[in-house]
Amino acid sequence: MTNIYAEHILDAYQLFHDGTLALAEAEQQGMRVSVEYIKKKSKQIDHKITKLESVIYDSEFFRNWQNYSKSKVNIYSPKQLEMYLYTCLKLKAKKQTKSGHGSTDEESLAQLNIAELDTFLEIKKLKKLKDTYLDGFLREQIDGFIHPFFTLHLVKTYRGASSNPNFQNIPKRDKESMKTIRGALFPRIDYQLLELDYSQLEVRIAQAYHNDPTMLEYLETGHDMHKDIAVQIFCLKEYDATIHKELRQASKGAFVFAQFYGDYYKNCAKNLTTNWCKLPESKWKSGQGIIVGDEHISDLFIRSGITSYAKFESHLEKIENDFWGNRFPIYDRWKETWWRAYQRDGYFLSKTGFLFTGVMSRNDATNYPVQGAAFHVLLWCLIQATNELKEYKMKSKIVGQIHDAIVMDVCPTELDDVVAMMKRIMEKKVRKHWSWINVPLKIEAELCPVNASWAEKQEYKI
């Protein structure tokens, strides 16, 4: 083991040494925030919260809770809420927490259909934005700049982490939250924010490990795997982008990626049913669930003989078996042999030369080397870009990293050069450095107008 490690230790060490220096520069650069905007938004949100709180405090629901409680009720205490809902009111918890208590998360509260709880969820969402993001930025900013930290020593997969404030979990999917929070983040005066992110980086890096020929074809041709899987899951005769876009999203998020991470059909079925199709976990009737084209999704399923949740589950079991058994059998076999080798040796190396040791589950052992190496590709590019920006005496700066994406603050006169440089580094140069990367790499870009906040990001064709 010592010898195997020694062959790679210097490469791995050098990457993190150089990476630490490059990330330290990004930290030093930081990102501009509008203190004025944050204070204003923070106040607005406080106001909204106070108003919504009074709706709850004036309700029968709350008065009853306070009567039941021995001490002053704190609505934000999950423990008190759990007691009131599931012990006092004897409501049935949708699910349990890890330690066996009735859950009070969003999903659990939403399905109780209590107006006050809907208001409560609305408050919690606003509080999250204010406490974690707005207040966090304000606390961390100095002279109108935040300087998120980027570390390389905390994550067991050898990814990076970020803190004070965390640059890697800024709201994005929820449009309203995105606008509220990213509206506080700005480029330097007369600069513009540019984000370059790899498409499907982990899927592409996994190829270097498993070498599955079908996956290779998908990645080389750019054929749409998620479309193909959506056709299977939803029994479509033909995929129509105008009608079935949502279904493609669903199969991508709740089946394909879940499968790659090691999930299995029962979880996928549940997630697809409740979160995507909005169908019950029981028998399905005509006119239920989300609308697809000119009909409800339950009708689509019923037409194909899937008339209940139970039938959908076994339908997905078949698709899972087909997915691994027929579509990606080589990938499947790699998982098994990789897992066996780890069980035999007690360790493994990533393609990037990092040593993984310790107790790992089967999913851990197959996920970690991919997740780590994918990040290392990004990190190598970040180091290269830092050096080249310096070498060419450019004014544009790297300000952060989000696992498979680099965020830059770009001087507009350099925009074309920066984009060309990043494309060259991230799609070509890194493949020269690491010839084990055996599929094309692709990046996509998002750009904000000059002086506009991060909320103004738009797709930018490159």
Which residues bind to DNA, rule: CB under 7 A?
Answer: 74, 76-80, 82, 97-101, 103-108, 121, 124-125, 127-128, 131-132, 135-136, 151, 154-157, 159, 161-166, 168-174, 177-178, 257-258, 261-264, 267, 361-364, 367-368, 371, 402-405
Give whichever of 342 and 368 is closer to DNA, judged by the CB atom.
368
Least Å from the CB of residue 393 to DNA? 31
Least Å from the CB of residue 402 to DNA? 5
**456 in Cβ contact with 197 (< 8 Å):** no
Q: What is each CA distance from 218 to 59, 124, 439, 443, in whole angstroms? A: 56, 42, 10, 17
Least Å from the CB of residue 363 to DNA? 4
Give whichever of 15 and 254 is closer to DNA, judged by the CB atom.
254
Give whichever of 173 and 393 is closer to DNA, judged by the CB atom.
173
Give the pair of three-digit tokens for residue 61. Answer: 């629901």
Q: Are strands 291-292 and 295-296 parallel, antiparallel or unpaired?
A: antiparallel
Give whichever of 69 and 288 is closer to DNA, judged by the CB atom.
69
Least Å from the CB of residue 325 to DNA? 11
Give whichever of 153 and 393 is closer to DNA, judged by the CB atom.
153
Q: Are strands 145-146 and 149-151 parallel, antiparallel or unpaired?
A: unpaired
3-state helix, strand, coil in the chain (%, to 5): 60, 10, 30
Least Å from the CB of residue 323 to DNA? 12
Least Å from the CB of residue 407 to DNA? 11
Give whichever of 318 and 390 is closer to DNA, judged by the CB atom.
318
Least Å from the CB of residue 112 to DNA? 12
Q: How many CA atoms lie within 13 A of 53 on its CB side?
A: 13
Give the pair of three-digit tokens for residue 338. Answer: 């990789």
Q: Spell out the long-range contacts of 412-418 with Cβ–Cβ below 8 A and sequence spacing 24 or more.
A: 412/190, 412/191, 412/192, 412/450, 415/192, 415/194, 415/447, 417/392, 418/194, 418/394
Residue whose C-alpha is closest to residue 161's, from 174, 179, 149: 149
Give whichever of 224 and 263 is closer to DNA, judged by the CB atom.
263
Residue 175 CB: number of other CB atoms within 10 A? 10
